[in-house]
Structures are given as structure tokens and as C-alpha cells.
Amino acid sequence: VETATEFDTIAAISTPPGEGAISIVRLSGEEAIQDTQKVFSGKNLLHVASHTINYGHIIDPQTHQEIDEVMVSVMRAPKTFTREDVVEINCHGGIVATNRILQLLLSNGTRLAEPGEFTKRAFLHGRIDLSQAEAVMDLIRAKTDRSMQVALKQLDGNLAHLIKNLRQDILSVLAQVEVNIDYPEYDDVEEMTTRLLKEKALEVKQRIQQLLETAKQGKVLREGLATAIVGRPNVGKSSLLNHLLHEDKAIVTDVAGTTRDVIEEYVNVRGVPLKLVDTAGIRETADKVEKIGVERSKKAIDQADLVMLVLNSSEPLTTEDRQLLALTAKKKRLVLLNKGDLEQKIDLEELRKLLGSNEELLTMSVLKNKGLAELETKISKLFFGGIENSQTTVMVTNTRHIALLKRAEKALDAVLKGIEDNMPVDLVQIDMTSCWDLLGEITGDSYQDELLNQLFSQFCLGK
């Protein structure tokens, strides 16, 4: 517990730490403009129009020392992100100057924002709903542009809209049930009520299942598709890895996170974030005497959503190749025939027999940069095939939302079971109400403070 009041004026650096040319210190709250004016020299910010950008300098009021040349955006409530007065100080002097400006504000009465506090205020002031707030968090963490689009769509309130409709439907049935229970003198009321509940439960369940089906793809977009490159020594794994890592695709490390010690390797293949599994293994074996192959591959294969199995087309299949083909048979995999630039010695007929009936082989040469574009197209199609066609629908990407949808589905199963077992209607009604509550938790319509704090503390500072 702290002395901070809920809506006092807060400040934080709202750009990610790093070498960016401009960083922004953001303030929100009743005193945001006054607090900035205390350290600002230029126009009197108290008198400038709302939503203007003002040139000036940040000056230490004690020492009169100039700290940075800045552009200050003044945005008065309520048309701001938090619905409070908001000031954004655009600094040019790099992270050191930016920190000094923040320190200066803090020593002159502004409070340091808690992680996610700006977004929390936006939520508490009714500016955004909870799923939108979470979308902001996803945006911060989005690994690729594509993930960004999904997050943005959610920001538009698509999921919230859909959930609100579902809840409205349930509510009207519950109301109807209530009426029926209150007027039991009508004939067949019991049967009618049951039928009504059953129909609605089936309908809502179906829609929840549709949402849950999108979750799998959503997870890939958020967390990256765990991908293992396997193959016996010398087939070209490291070469392929290097190609994926270096070909003008950003390696995205976790910008929003605070730690730099866990660097996961991500490559962005046409909008599919691949999270590479056990690249250390591949690198190690490139230097050392290569012996392992299968044992280590087993682990990588287990962890992977996608396996790229590399074969050398210029040599006959070996036992190790066959083992790896068997090990990956049940996985989503791409079988790559590398070294296509050399004379072909692999027995294609035998190989085809070891593959699934619809499985394709991709012939390529990493060395000569042949077939790699096709590989990328393949990867992208594999994962966007389904999504591309459903651009307009909602995608569930958030773990908490997924868990709630699953619980809501269970509640509906209880409704259906209750009806089947001829339970009294008011007991069935309890499960239906619970479904309604659970869906409400997604949009924050039945939130608890606990949940709220937990959510918002996950945001990075300054958002």
C-alpha cells in the first residue's frame, strides 16, 4: 500500500529503452500541464490551446540549467488516451536527457507511473474496455506486423463487441426464464423454458467454439511458432539458419521486456514469427566433431510446432535420415532436399514412400540461394492459409480470454447436462448465469480489483 492516490498526476518515459532518436516523457492527471510548466521555458503552457505542439526548453528551476530542447504536446481532457489532461514531452537528447527530465518532474511533485497505469486510467475512465486494454499490452509485445494487425483489430473492440452480443442474448433468455418461473400458471411453461435454455446454450456454445478455434493461430501470432531445424550433420542446417537470420528480416527480441539476458531468436518469415528452437545446438555442432544428431533432435522436435527436416540430396539416405523422418512423421513438418545444386544421389522413390501421402518435398540449395523464396511462401501459406480468408473475423489471442472462454463453454455443458437430467430450471439457470459472468470477465464488465491490478501491472512502464 502506498500514499499515492488513485488519480494524482503521473509521469513516465513512454518510449522503449534503446537508441531511438526521440523519446517521450508522458504525464497524465489534473496537474499535468502545471507540472510541466514548472520546468518548461517557452510559451505559457497553461494558456495554449488543447492539442497543440509547443517548442521550448526544459530548464531545471533550481539551477536554471538547460537540459534539453523539446516539443511539448498539450492535450486537455477529455479527448485524450486517459481522458485526463495529458502532456507529452518529446526530447531529442537521448536516454540520459530523457531520464533527467523525468527525474526533474518527479522532484517537482509529479509521481512516477506504475506499470500500465496510463492504460489502467483509460480503462477506469471508461475510455477503453478491458479487452482493448489487453490489446494495448499485446501491441507492445507484438512480434511482427501481422500480430500487430490482430492486436489492432482487437483494439477496435471486435472481440468486445462479439462478447457483448453473446451476453445480451444470454441475458434476454435469462430474463425470459425468470418471467416463466414467476408465472408458472401457464401451461407447458417448464418445457418451454427448458427448450429456450437448451437452444441458447447450444448456440452460444457453438460460437464460443468458433472463437476458441481461432485461438490456436492467435497463439502462434503472439508467441511465435516454435520451429526446429533438424537433420544429420553437414546437410546444411546452419546455412539455412543463417539465411533465415540474416536475410533482411528483423530478429525481434523482446522490446517491451526488461531483461536482455534471455534472448530468444525470432525470425519473421513473411509475417510469421518463427521462434527458433535449440539454435545453440545447431551452432555448437557446426564447430565440434558432429556426433549427436538424433538424441538432441528428439528434444527439439518435442518442443516444436513446426519441424524443418533437412536432407542432403547429393548423398543416399542414411539410417539417421530414416530415423529423423520417423521421429517427425506426426509433426507439422517441411522436408527440405538441400544441396540441389549438386548431382542427385538420394533415392527419391524410397524417400517418397517414407513421406505422408500429400506431403511435398522442397528441393533447394541454400548455398546458391535457390528454393528459399518457395520455402518462405510455404511457411507463410501453412499458417496464414486459414487466417487470410477470415480477415474480418475476430481472433482470440489472449491466454486469459482463452481460459475464460473454456470455462464459459464448461458452464454451458453444465446447462445442457442439467436439462438432460431434468434438473429444476432454477438450477440450470445458475449455470447459464455463470456463463454470462465468465464472458463478462473478458470485457471487464464483471471485473474484480484483483484481476485489474494483476493485468495492469503486466504492462511496461509508460503505457
- ∠ CA 36-40-45, nearest 5°, is 65
User: Does 281 carry a binding-site annotation?
Assistant: yes
Based on the shown chain and the rule CB under 6 A, indicate whether residue 231 belongs to the binding site for ligand GDP.
Answer: yes
Given Zn ion, ligand GDP, none, residue 209, with its beta carbon under 5 to 8 Å by kind, binds none
User: Which three cell numbers, joined as nine digits, stand for 98?
Assistant: 530523457
Rounded to 10 degrees, the C-alpha dihedral 5/9/15/16 comes to -20
User: Which three cell numbers, joined as nine digits, stand for 316?
Assistant: 543416399
DSSP 234-251: TSSHHHHHHHHHHSS---
Please pick, from the candidates 234, 363, 380, 433, the single residue that binds ligand GDP as defined by CB under 6 A. 234
Please pick, from the candidates 145, 247, 302, 360, the single residue that binds Zn ion as defined by CB under 5 A. 247
> Which residues is 72 bridged to in the sheet?
54, 89
- At 244, the amino acid letter reads L
Q: Read off the DSSP letter of residue 157.
A: T
Identify which range of 8-16, 69-77, 247-255, 336-344 contacts ligand GDP by CB under 6 A.
336-344
Based on the shown chain and the rule CB under 6 A, indicate whether residue 440 belongs to the binding site for ligand GDP.
Answer: no
Helix, strand, coil fractions of the chain, as percent rounded to 5: 50, 15, 35
CB 366 within 8 A of CB 246: no
Given Zn ion, ligand GDP, none, residue 247, with its beta carbon under 5 to 8 Å by kind, binds Zn ion
Backbone angles phi, psi at 159, to 5 degrees: -65, -45
Based on the shown chain and the rule CB under 6 A, indicate whether residue 26 belongs to the binding site for ligand GDP.
Answer: no
Q: Which is nearer to Zn ion, 246 or 299 (by Cβ)?
A: 246
Please pick, from the candidates 14, 90, 154, 238, the single residue that binds ligand GDP as defined by CB under 6 A. 238
Closest by CA to 280, choosing from 249, 238, 244, 327, is: 238
User: Does 88 carry a binding-site annotation?
Assistant: yes
Identify which range of 54-62, 167-175, 363-371, 453-461 contacts Zn ion by CB under 5 A.
363-371
Task: Name the 3-class secondary structure at 125.
Answer: coil
Based on the shown chain and the rule CB under 5 A, indicate whether residue 30 belongs to the binding site for Zn ion.
Answer: no
Based on the shown chain and the rule CB under 6 A, indicate whether residue 159 belongs to the binding site for ligand GDP.
Answer: no
Identify which range of 204-212, 295-303, 359-367, 416-424 contacts ligand GDP by CB under 6 A.
359-367
User: Does 463 carry a binding-site annotation?
Assistant: yes
Based on the shown chain and the rule CB under 6 A, indicate whether residue 237 belongs to the binding site for ligand GDP.
Answer: yes
Distance CA 112, CA 352 (A): 63
Backbone angles phi, psi at 69, to 5 degrees: -90, 130
Based on the shown chain and the rule CB under 6 A, indicate whether residue 342 belongs to the binding site for ligand GDP.
Answer: yes
Based on the shown chain and the rule CB under 6 A, indicate whether residue 366 belongs to the binding site for ligand GDP.
Answer: yes
Binding-site positions for GTP read 234-239, 253-259, 278-281
Please give the residue ranges that form the binding site for ligand GDP (CB under 6 A): 231, 233-239, 282, 286, 338-339, 341-342, 365-367
- Please report, as ranges, the residues that interact with Zn ion according to CB under 5 A: 243, 247, 369
